[in-house]
Every structure is written in structure tokens, then in C-alpha cells.
Chains A and B, each alone.
Chain A
Amino acid sequence: MYTLIDRKDVTPESVWFKIKAPEIAETCKAGQFVMLRSNEKGERIPLTIADWDPEEGWISVIFQKAGASTYELAEYQKGESLQDCAGPLGIPTHTENAGNTIVIGGGLGIAIATPVARAYKQAGNQTEVIIGARKAELVFNEDEIKDFADELYICTDDGSAGRKGFVTDQLQEMIDSGKQIDTVFCVGPPIMMKFVAKVTEPYNIKTIASLNTIMLDGTGMCGACRLTVGGETKFACVDGPDFDAHQVEWEETMARLAAYKDEEREAMILYKKEKECRAEKMKGDKGDN
């Protein structure tokens, strides 16, 4: 069992867990992920490790409440335990000799962009960070990133924080300013990563995308996470999660991510029904007293 040392709501849509997992914290590196399962009936959920401390023996993850499984996971409170947590999985992000680097995190991707950007910086690269979200209340980690990044740019769709616009607008502006950019790393919704790749491609800027595909085991056993990169089939769990963003077949990747839309809806309906039942029951119990 894996105890929740702490948990908090990072934004109205996302939750931060600090999990006791000494064996994972000991060997973990930026860009790697864990497979989390809340209980016997739960899904194995792949989550990138947001932060970790080998001395204190914990890792943290941030996840978005997107479907029944993540809503259920979000209900877990400090002191409670998760059934399973396996990792660190995947190949760590290569940060050596990246040169002038821009790390882009969109939406929940901010959680992953943070440790990756820190790793780029620690490897001696000039590192600037762009984070983007729909609105101000979905932006997080600004202070943490400011602590180490050479520059932080914030973009929101509605302009309620930072500049009004997409992360790609900020990126394009930086390219247009004639700034030397050697590496771009992006993580976030696939549609954002696709457009980041489109922006950098004409300039031949090396662009890495961190893929959060559907996964089952996370160890190369099933191929649920597969995608086409440069015409070849790759497994995000063991060959990734980082890939050359210019080589990824984005349409296919997005289609595969949406493979269980109908089932997710069905699971969500059941989850809501069960939650209502529980609430009713609690009301009833109180009434009896």
C-alpha cells in the first residue's frame, strides 16, 4: 500500500498527491512516470512524476479530474492509501547539452514541465518556460518555476493571467525576435503539442514532445500506448514518453487517445450515480440520529 502523505487541490480541476514510495523516489529522474491504481477495481493510471525526494522517500503527482477513475482518485484523502504504485517507468528526459531551451507546459502539462525544466536548468542549459491554461485559476506552479527558470511566460486563452493567447503565440514571438533557440520541449494536450511542432518545424528547431498515451501495464507488454513516429511503431511506455515532435503522427495519436470516449461516458454516469447514492445514504443516516 502507498500512503498519501499529503494532498491538495492545485486548481479546481487538478489534484496534487504526495505519496510515500521510497523505492521509486530513490531512482526516479525527470520525465519518468508511475502507474497508479487506487483500489482493487481501479484502472492502472499513468501519471508523470511531478517531484520527488529520495531522502524523505516520497514522490508527487498532479492529475486532472477527467473521467470516473480520476474523479474517484481525487477523493482519496491525506493518510489514506492507494493500492498500487509502480515506477519509475519510461526513459528520463535527455537534458544534457540541450543548449538554449524552451520548455512549454499546457494545462496539466505544467505539472510535468516543472521538473523537466528544472532538470534542463540543472544540466547547465539556459532554460525559459512558457506555461498556458484556459484561465488564471487553472495556472499553477508559477512561483516554483520562477525559482529556477531564466524566464517564465504565462499565457491564458482569456487573458485573465499573463498574455492573452496560446503558448504557440508566445513561442512564435520568441522565434521572430531572432532569439537563439536550440531545443523546445513541450507537454500538454496533444493538439497543443501538434501546433508547437508546426511552429518550430520551418526553423528546424529540435522539438521534443512528452506523450501521455493510454497505457495498461506501462512496461512494454501490451502496446496500448503505441504510436507512429517517423513511420515506425513505438511504445510510449518503453521507447518514450519523449519523442521527436516533428516525427509523431498526431492525428493517429489523438484518435487513439479518444478510443474509449463512449466507455468513459458510461463510467462517469455510473460514478455520479454511485456518488449520489452515497450522499443520499449519508443524509439518511444523519436523519436517523
Chain B
Amino acid sequence: MTTERKPRPRIIRTKLPMPTQNPEDRVDNFAEVPYGYNEAEAMLEAQRCLKCKNQPCVSGCPVEVPIRDFITLIREGKFMEAAAIIKTKNSLPAVTGRVCPQELQCESKCVMGRRYQPVAIGNLERFAADYAREEGEEIPELPKSTGKKIAIVGAGPAGLTCAGDLALHGHKVIIFEALHEPGGVLVYGIPEFRLPKDMVKYEIEYLVKLGVEIKLNFLVGKNKTVDELLNEYDAVFVGSGAGAPRLLNIPGINLVNVYSANEYLTRVNLLKGYLFPEYKTPVKRGKSVVVIGAGNVAMDAARTAKRLGAEHSIIVYRRSRKECPARVEEVHHAEEEEIEFRFLTNPVRIIGDELGAVRAVECLQFELGEPDETGRAKPIPIPGSEHLIECDVVVISVGNDPNPIIPRTTPDLEISKWGTIVTDRNTGKTSKKGVYAGGDIATGAATVIAAMGAGKIAAKSIHMQIMGIEEAEIENI
């Protein structure tokens, strides 16, 4: 006698891979590399979600996207509803679905990931956001205006998130942006092939539909100080970013065609230098481009150089592959595009030609020694290992410091020795009453999603403060 057994659901062990442009084709264009899931693929991947009751994935998300719920909606084919529920917590899902390091956040907590590959949460978020954008989504019903006004400094990920959340509470929000386009690092830093600018534009337009006002070409600290804003607004949030490029203290750093990564990427992304001369901002199209550093920005610069026609696009990094700060996926994409990696190599000087333009980088070879104070093996130079890498463009990508304009022009604002604004990480409060800060200006250069998380935290405490809500009541809002 046999008892009838319920068939066990088949477990799909691996993530459904996203189709991408061929490496050989994509190095000749600036179009996005991954194509994204179609409806069937998204529904299939959504079936892998175990619908855990305690949702560990959400605890890995700085903006607490209701991950299980939106994936369930995708599984049921309710794509618009999926996008809408994401947007209750995340104003920029098409952005985060593309640029978040999910492997370190939500996906790292996914229960599926303990034995198999985690659910492709990022890919699914991207799918829902793209679907809703293409179908045209409705604006949620907004609460009655509270009559409160908040000024936000900088239209980057932190400021935009803070603005979106405050607008959803019924407050009037005005963002002041120094550049001619909103988006911050999303428009000047991250390249088109990783984050198409039309998508950033769309998500910002959505915020404008929620009533957020954006004032461009306005420099807080120059046109008006934070103190002046405080006279007109109920609170000020500073999200002015880590905009000051670090350079290397080596001879030749100011030679012609030595760029900071910020400059190189701003020329190409914000000012569309890759379309020169139709667009009027030029960028040097090097035959051999050396990028110094191995973070995500360095990968962006090296891959950009390739698309601008470089025969050799070379990453020079003083540690080994293991220590690369860039996301695994970015390194992988770079390798597919034949970016050359010179690990355990560090520049000692940049050499110019008779016209003062870069001609080569002189480097030293390193070997790994004992762990240093960061716990990583310390690179030690090998004597006599000097060698030249011939190149006609150098891009320095060794990080950014906080933008100094607000710290310099705002009295009573506590600033750390690194130039960041000191904040309470749980509230975003600064030492100055009514002034909040978050994102790279408070933490130093970090990720888009970390900045968004900080914008969200600040929005919550600004809302509580201006509405006179006590901490104890917080659960009810």
C-alpha cells in the first residue's frame, strides 16, 4: 500500500541570469549592458522566493523595501502593484535595482542563499520599476498639506530620497542643486551603460509630480547660506555629497590629460562628451588609458575609456585582486570588456612630453606582506621594480573627500577631522538645530543606497520634529 505524497516543489538552485549585451559589441556603444528580465523571466525568478515570515532580506536593505511582498506580487503577475509597494519605501527603484551592491545587502541575508544562490532581488526590483515606468504609473494620493517647508541641499541620492519621503508626509520640499541637472552622482558619475540617464530623469520627474520642487544652478553657501535657509524653512537637510576629488601626491599629477575620475566621468556623463562635437564638451580619447584605483568608480572610468576607443584600458592597483573595492559584478564586466589589470602595482610619478601632456606612468611592483591596521595584507614595494606604462590619458580614481562649501560657510556646524558633517546616525541630526545631514557629506564616500538610507532616516526625524511627534508615538506613524 502506498500513500500518496504531495509533490515537493522543485527548487531552482541558481539565479536566473540576466541577458546582457555581448562584450565585443558593447565596448563600441554606451547603451546599457544588461537587458533586464522579461515578464516570464521575472515571474520565474520570483517563484524562488521562500516567502520567509521574518524577512531577513528586509533587514539587509538600508531603505527597508518590502522585498517579500513585492516579489510575491511579481509572482502573481501584479507588476504595477509590485512597483507601487516598492515606492512606498524607495523613491528610486530603477536606480537601486541597477547600482545597489545587493550581494552585500538584501541578497546576503536571503535564506535561499544559505544553500543555493539567493533570489535575484535586485534584478526583480529593476524589473518592477522598469515595467511601471513603461506602463505609466499613477501618483499615490497625497495627504493634506501640512504647511511646513523643508529645504534640501543637493539633488543626489540622499536629498532625493529625503525629499520623496517628506513629500509623502504632505510637506513642501524644495531641493537646491548646484549643477544644471538633478541627480548628483547618478548623473555626473555613474555611466550611461550602467545607469541610463533617462531612467534617473524619470524617477526624479516622479518626485516632482509628488510636489517636490527642484531649483537648479543654486549654490547653498554662495547664493544663500544654510543660516539664511533656516530663516525661511522649518528644517534643512544637507546632502551635498563627497564631491572633492582626491589626487595623488606624485610628480606630474597636473600634467595635461591627467584627470580626476570626477572630471573624466562628468565630461562623459553629465556633459555627454562621448557625443562631441555635437555636444560641445570635449574629452580626450586616449589610445592607452591608465586608471589608478580599483573601486567601482575606477571600473566605470576604465570601461568608459574603452568605449571612447582606447586600445588599452589599464587598471593599476597597489593591492591584489582579492582586495579590489569594486563589486564583483563590476570587475567581471570589466574583465569581459578586456580591461587590463595590473595588480600589486603603484604609480610613483607621471611623465610628460615636451608639450606638458602625459606620456607614461612610472610604477613600482609590490608584494603582499603582513596584515596592516585594516586587516588587509600590506603591500610592500619591491626594490628596483620600477617600470613604465606608456599612456596618453591617466585617470586618478582613489576616492573623494566631502564637499567643503557647506562646512566652510555654516557656523556652529560640527565638522570631523575628515571634513564630514558630524551627525547622529539614528536621526541625521547635526550639531545645529534644525539642520540635518546624510549621505557622503556625513559618512565620506560610500554607496548610493547608503546615502538613500540616510536621507530616509533624516526625513523621518525631520517629520517628527516639525510635527512635534514624540519618539514614543513613532510606531503609530
A247 within 8 A of B: no
B267 within 8 A of A: yes
A256 touches B356 (CB 8 A): yes
Chain A stretch 221-280: residues in CB contact (< 8 A) with chain B: 221-224, 226-228, 233, 238, 249, 251-252, 255-256, 258-260, 263-264, 266-267, 270
B278 within 8 A of A: yes
Tell me the total A-B contact number using a CB cutoff of 8 A: 124
Q: How far is the CA of A6 from the CA of B25 in the complex (A)?
A: 50
B219 touches A86 (CB 8 A): yes
Chain B interface, number of residues (Cβ within 8 angstroms): 42
Q: Which residue of A lies closest to B243 (CB)?
A: A221
Name the one of A86, A224, A264 contacting B178, with C-beta atoms under 8 angstroms: A86
Q: How far is the CA of A86 from the CA of B355 in the complex (A)?
A: 33
A89 touches B260 (CB 8 A): no
A223 touches B180 (CB 8 A): no
B280 touches A217 (CB 8 A): no
What's the nearest-Cβ distance from chain A to residue B267, in Å? 7
Chain B stretch 201-241: residues in CB contact (< 8 A) with chain A: 216-219, 222-224
Name the one of A42, A216, A252 contacting B266, with C-beta atoms under 8 angstroms: A216
Q: How far is the CA of A219 from the CA of B29 in the complex (A)?
A: 30
A221 touches B180 (CB 8 A): no
Question: Which residues of B are found within 8 Å of A83, using beta-carbon distances?
Answer: 180
With A43-B271, A87-B222, A267-B277 known as contacts, the answer to whether A217 contacts B256 (CB < 8 A) is no
Question: Which residues of B are found within 8 Å of A255, using beta-carbon distances?
Answer: 255-256, 355-357
Q: How far is the CA of A85 from the CA of B216 in the complex (A)?
A: 9
Q: How far is the CA of A64 from the CA of B275 in the complex (A)?
A: 25
B111 within 8 A of A: no
What's the nearest-Cβ distance from chain B to residue A81, in Å? 13
Q: How large, as a class, is the contact surface on chain A?
A: 35 or more
A53 within 8 A of B: no
A133 within 8 A of B: no
Name the one of B247, B263, B282 contacting A233, with C-beta atoms under 8 angstroms: B247
Among A221, A226, A266, the one with the most B-chain Cβ atoms within 10 Å of its Cβ is A221
Question: Which residues of B are found within 8 Å of A159, using beta-carbon distances?
Answer: none
What's the nearest-Cβ distance from chain A to residue B238, in Å? 15
Question: Which residues of B are found within 8 Å of A46, using beta-carbon distances?
Answer: none
Q: Which residue of B lies closest to A253 (CB)?
A: B254
Question: Which residues of A are found within 8 Å of B46, using beta-carbon distances?
Answer: none
Q: How far is the CA of A270 from the CA of B282 in the complex (A)?
A: 13
List 11 other contacts, CB 8 Å, given A84-B216, A228-B254: A23-B224, A37-B180, A68-B277, A216-B263, A216-B266, A216-B267, A221-B244, A222-B263, A223-B260, A233-B253, A266-B276
5 of the cross-chain contacts (CB-CB < 8 Å) are A219-B178, A221-B262, A221-B266, A252-B254, A258-B355
